A and B are shown apart, each in its own frame.
Chain A
Amino acid sequence: MDRTGQDERYRGAAAEYGPALERLARAVEADAAERRDLLQEIHFAVWRSLAGFDGRCSMRTWVYRVAHNAAASHVMRRRRAPKGMSIEELVLADDGASPEEIVSENQALERLMAMIRALKAPDAQVMLLYLEDLDAAAIGEITGMSSGAVATKIHRIKALLAKRFKGGRDD
């Protein structure tokens, strides 16, 4: 594929999934400057990969997988990457704030980001993809986990969200 075709595909993917990619970068990286670099890196990875897109899976699966791979590499490269908790550990942990204390959407988002960043990378990916409204099969296809393992994690994510957010709907 020539560069023009690759650019064209990228434009389409960026238009459709750009906001999700930004949310991914925001969840993974707290530092604003590093976040911009990470987002750039993710977009670059997507653009580069589209030269080899063969249509064997949906564009959504392709873009998410490339983006999550790039984000995971970023996390693993960080010098002082936190060890991270599993979803199960996070369900049991107490972050000291009650759901009633969350009064604004910004506070809720900050709490959500903190939860995602506290997770081990693979668990954080499942949670992010769940928040992007992907089902267990799609998440499994993207992360390489079995759909059974993903379903179990989603079940725990729902429990976690219900516990941490007042009235958090567990759908």
Chain B
Amino acid sequence: MTDVKSLWRNQKTEETVTLENIHRTAERFQQRTRRGLAIEYGVSVFVIAVFGFYIWALPGSMVKAGSALCIVGVLGILWQMRKRMAVRRVPDLSGPGLVEFHRQELLRQRDAVKSAWLWYILPAIPGMVLMMLGRWYQLHAPGRSLAWDHEVIALCAVIILLGLGIIRLLQVLRVAKLQSKIDELDKLR
């Protein structure tokens, strides 16, 4: 064996991809895109329906206002996710080189996750806080003492805060991972 290049180029190839398969893939690709959009709109409609129901069904102006703020917040998050996190199509040719393209994508993702507390966590907070305050001051669960009711609300608030804290921690870890991939690419330049 003397020439590795010849060995490589002379290996037997056997797979065939037909034009019909390509056309079918193109149709599936379009269907997937449509399905993705449908899911996104479905989530939006579900969120609006749930909090809309709260506005209609739950008493107390603060809870109603909180629910409305939650709708606005979640819609804002969806809009931001679409804007910041959407996967860009790999450029066919006219864009930057492959390494540069992937570096730009990693930078974009890193910056999006880094600032996620601002656009992913913060928009959800005002509505939830207002709903909690509404429960605290305006709604009292029947059959419970006021002190017990307040303890339940405080516990819920702590659980929500812990949940948000865990989400933020995962985001911080994700930023570190993305940064290490960027550093690896930078070594290649």
Contacts and interface: CB of A to CB of B under 8 A. Distances in A.
Contacts of A36: 15
Contact of A57 (B91, B93, B98, B184): B93
Given A122-B188, A125-B98, A112 B90 contact: no
B188 to A, nearest CB: 5
Interface string B83-103: 000000011111011111110
Interface stretch (B3-11, B37-45, B127-135, B153-161): B3-11
Contacts of B94: 52
Interface residues of B, number: 36
Interface in A76-100: 76, 86
Chain A's interface size range is 35 or more
Contacts of A47: 19, 22, 26
Interface in A130-150: 130-133, 142-146, 149
A166 B4 CA distance: 10
Contacts of B93: 49, 52-53, 57, 61-62, 65-66
Nearest to A83: B184
A105 B17 contact: no
A109 B7 contact: yes
A168 B22 contact: no
Given A23-B11, A44-B22, A161-B4, A145 B97 contact: yes
A25 B3 CA distance: 22
26 contacts: A7-B19, A18-B17, A23-B8, A40-B17, A44-B25, A45-B92, A48-B26, A49-B92, A52-B92, A57-B93, A69-B92, A69-B98, A69-B101, A72-B102, A105-B1, A105-B11, A112-B8, A120-B184, A122-B99, A122-B185, A132-B9, A133-B5, A143-B97, A144-B97, A144-B99, A144-B100
Given A39-B15, A57-B93, A146-B189, 18 more contacts: A7-B19, A10-B22, A23-B13, A40-B17, A44-B26, A45-B90, A47-B26, A52-B92, A66-B93, A69-B90, A69-B92, A108-B1, A108-B7, A109-B7, A143-B99, A145-B97, A145-B188, A166-B1
Interface of B: 1-5, 7-9, 11, 13-15, 17, 19, 21-22, 25-26, 29, 90-94, 96-102, 184-185, 187-189
Ranked 5 nearest A-B pairs via Cβ: A144-B97, A49-B92, A131-B8, A43-B17, A69-B90
